[in-house]
């Protein structure tokens, strides 16, 4: 059975479809066409957050204490207790016969003690040699990943280190065996390596958040140095972290705090004679190059300084201001600029 649609109903349906088509064009098509013909971007204030996924290493001041004699050990505190320097951590009841005293250090502990030879904080003691957090776990890398060795830590060597933890809590110990560790949490560090494109996202001394396996902590960019093709990034922190005493090598995400400044598309930035900048377009269509300094960038946008910045020579440089128009594709302007420079020479 065929249903006949009246002419009036057809007109309503056609009108409805036409309206929907017009709305689609207005909402989706026209903006894209407009963007295609829009050759400039207006600089406006805003903020940007960038991040980088990387592998990091905990660097801390850690004291590893060994048994003062052979015998039965008693720990006087529960693990992860905060202690002061000189606190009584353990006691050992001496062995009952001479044969026990002559026992050698178990081989499994030797593997962890070997990398700690000549380490200033490998001490024979029942007392806490430093203030910090008491634990009964070591990995044998306390010397290499110590604060005093921070500047000497290299990516290639760090990756080759054997990082495997061993639990020290037990009833009986042999003189010289490791029995506990104290980790100073006043100030500690995370070291990692980044590509140049990622490293430039984080300014020296800027605040960051670092997402670690157990939680997110606040930190600061402590140092930033070129190491081969990569940049060695060191972040300092005094934040509480639940797995602090057990952590060494971790997968982490470094997130910049919201950085405020002028927002510009990365396509607008171009290099002229080794200087990064943008081409500003005035109302009367005059185009000229202006140096800029990038604070942080992501894949699409950058935050740049406004009005004035200080360059690598510690000179003040005048730069762009809010609401100025900059070219989205400055390549042609650069080529014209370079040709004019050659003619002037």
**Which tens digits make up the pLDDT trace of 4-57?**
556 666 677 776 777 777 776 666 655 444 444 589 999 999 998 889 999 999
Check if the beta carbon of residue 67 is closer than 8 Å to that of residue 124.
yes
State the Cα–Cα distance between residues 80 and 170, nearest whole angstrom: 16
**H or E stretch covering 134:** strand 132-135
Residue 9 inside a domain? The answer is no
pLDDT of residue 104: 74
Residue 238 inside a domain? The answer is yes
State the Cα–Cα distance between residues 29 and 37, nearest whole angstrom: 13
Residue 264: phi and psi, rounded to 5, are -140, 145
Check if the beta carbon of residue 52 is closer than 8 Å to that of residue 110.
no
Segments of the chain with pLDDT less than 50? 1, 31-36
Residue 106 inside a domain? The answer is yes
Domain end (from 205, 234, 256) = 256
**pLDDT tens per residue across span 61-93:** 999 999 999 999 999 999 999 999 999 999 999
Asked if 266 and 333 sit in the same domain, the reply is: yes
Asked if 135 and 264 sit in the same domain, the reply is: no
pLDDT of residue 36: 44
Cα–Cα–Cα angle for 172, 178, 181, rounded to 5 degrees? 115
Q: What is the dihedral of CA 144, 150, 155, 159, to 10 degrees?
A: 30
Radius of gyration of the chain (CA): 32
Asked if 292 and 161 sit in the same domain, the reply is: no
**β-strand partners of 257:** none
Which pair of tokens denotes residue 34?
Answer: 């407009």
Check if the beta carbon of residue 268 is closer than 8 Å to that of residue 39.
no
Check if the beta carbon of residue 145 is closer than 8 Å to that of residue 160.
no
**β-strand partners of 322:** none
Asked if 246 and 264 sit in the same domain, the reply is: no
CATH number at 276 reads 2.40.420
pLDDT of residue 6: 63
Asked if 108 and 248 sit in the same domain, the reply is: yes
Asked if 218 and 293 sit in the same domain, the reply is: no
Domain end (from 226, 256, 286) = 256
Cβ neighbors of 222 (< 8 A, separation 6 or more) are 189, 205, 234, 235, 236
State the Cα–Cα distance between residues 305 and 294, nearest whole angstrom: 7
Residue 16 inside a domain? The answer is no
DSSP 325: E
pLDDT of residue 33: 43
Check if the beta carbon of residue 199 is closer than 8 Å to that of residue 235.
no
Cα–Cα–Cα angle for 282, 283, 286, rounded to 5 degrees? 45
If one counts the domains in the chain, the total is 2
State the Cα–Cα distance between residues 247 and 253, nearest whole angstrom: 15
Domain end (from 227, 256, 285) = 256
Residue 149 inside a domain? The answer is yes
Asked if 139 and 232 sit in the same domain, the reply is: yes
Asked if 213 and 332 sit in the same domain, the reply is: no
Asked if 224 and 119 sit in the same domain, the reply is: yes
pLDDT of residue 49: 87
pLDDT of residue 337: 85
Residue from 97, 60, 95, 96 nearest 250 by CA: 60
Asked if 252 and 264 sit in the same domain, the reply is: no
State the Cα–Cα distance between residues 345 and 343, nearest whole angstrom: 5
Q: Look at the block and give the residue holding tokens 């057809």.
A: 10
Count of other CB atoms within 10 angstroms of residue 332: 11
Which pair of tokens denotes residue 82?
Answer: 């905060």
Domain of 71?
53-256
State the Cα–Cα distance between residues 70 and 93, nearest whole angstrom: 8
Asked if 164 and 303 sit in the same domain, the reply is: no
Residue from 60, 56, 61 nearest 211 by CA: 56
Cα–Cα–Cα angle for 105, 108, 112, rounded to 5 degrees? 90
């Amino acid at each position: 059975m065929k249903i006949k649609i009246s002419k009036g109903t057809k007109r309503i349906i056609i009108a409805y479809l036409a309206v929907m088509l017009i709305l689609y064009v207005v909402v989706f098509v026209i903006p894209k066409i407009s963007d295609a013909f829009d050759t400039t971007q207006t600089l406006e204030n805003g903020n940007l957050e960038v991040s980088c996924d990387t592998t990091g290493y905990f660097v801390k001041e850690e004291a590893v204490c060994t048994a003062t004699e052979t015998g039965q050990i008693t720990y006087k505190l529960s693990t992860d207790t905060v202690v002061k320097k000189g606190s009584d951590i353990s006691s050992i009841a001496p062995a009952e016969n001479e044969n026990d005293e002559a026992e050698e250090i178990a081989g499994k502990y030797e593997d962890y003690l070997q990398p700690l030879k000549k380490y200033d904080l490998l001490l024979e003691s029942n007392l806490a040699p430093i203030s910090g957090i008491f634990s009964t776990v070591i990995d044998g890398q306390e010397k290499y990943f110590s604060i005093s060795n921070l500047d000497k830590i290299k990516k290639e060597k760090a990756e080759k280190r054997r990082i495997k933890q061993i639990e020290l809590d037990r009833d009986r110990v042999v003189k010289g065996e490791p029995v506990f560790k104290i980790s100073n949490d006043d100030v500690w560090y995370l070291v990692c390596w980044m590509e140049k494109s990622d490293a430039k996202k984080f300014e020296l001394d800027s605040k960051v958040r670092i997402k670690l396996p157990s939680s997110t902590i606040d930190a600061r960019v402590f140092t930033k140095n070129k190491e081969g093709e990569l940049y060695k990034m060191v972040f300092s922190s005094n934040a509480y972290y639940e797995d602090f005493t057990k952590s060494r090598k971790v997968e982490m995400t470094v997130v910049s705090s919201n950085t405020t400044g002028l927002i510009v598309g990365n396509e607008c930035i171009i290099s002229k004679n080794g200087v990064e900048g943008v081409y500003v377009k005035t109302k009367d269509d005059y185009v000229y190059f202006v140096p800029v300094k990038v604070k942080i960038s992501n894949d699409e946008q950058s935050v740049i300084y406004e009005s004035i910045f200080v360059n690598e020579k510690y000179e003040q440089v005048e730069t762009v201001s809010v609401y100025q128009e900059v070219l989205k594709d400055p390549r042609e302007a650069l080529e014209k600029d370079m040709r004019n420079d050659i003619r002037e020479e």
